Copies of this chain bind each other. A is one copy, B any other.
Amino acid sequence: MTTSSYAVLALLDLRAWTGYELTNQAQRSLRYAWPKSERLLYSEPKKLVARGYATTHKEQTGNRTSNVYEITEAGREALAAWTRTRTHAPRIEVEALLRLLFADHGSIEDLQRVLDELEADIGEQHDSVVELMASYFDSGHPFPDRTHLSVLFATFQIETLQSILRWIEFARSEIDQWPTTKDLGMTERTEALTRLLGEGQFDLNRAQPADD
Contact = CB atoms under 8 A, between A and B. Distances in A.
Interface string A168-208: 00110011001001111111001101110111101110010
Contacts of A93: 33-35, 90-92
A16 interface: no
Contacts of A87: 95-96, 99, 114, 117-118, 121
Contacts of A95: 3, 33-34, 87-88, 90
A89 interface: yes
Interface in A23-45: 29-30, 32-35
B153 A185 contact: no
- Copies of this chain assembled into the complex: 2
Contact of A148 (B10, B148, B184): B184
B198 A122 contact: no
A96 B7 CA distance: 12
A192 to B, nearest CB: 10
- The secondary-structure label for the interface of chain A is helix
Contact of A121 (B32, B89, B186, B207): B89
A195 B124 CA distance: 19
A176 B74 CA distance: 32
A85 to B, nearest CB: 10
Contacts of A112: none
29 contacts: A10-B98, A10-B102, A10-B105, A13-B102, A32-B97, A33-B95, A33-B97, A33-B98, A34-B93, A83-B110, A89-B125, A90-B93, A90-B96, A92-B92, A97-B156, A100-B149, A101-B149, A130-B198, A138-B198, A141-B186, A146-B185, A147-B185, A148-B185, A148-B186, A154-B197, A155-B207, A159-B163, A160-B167, A162-B203
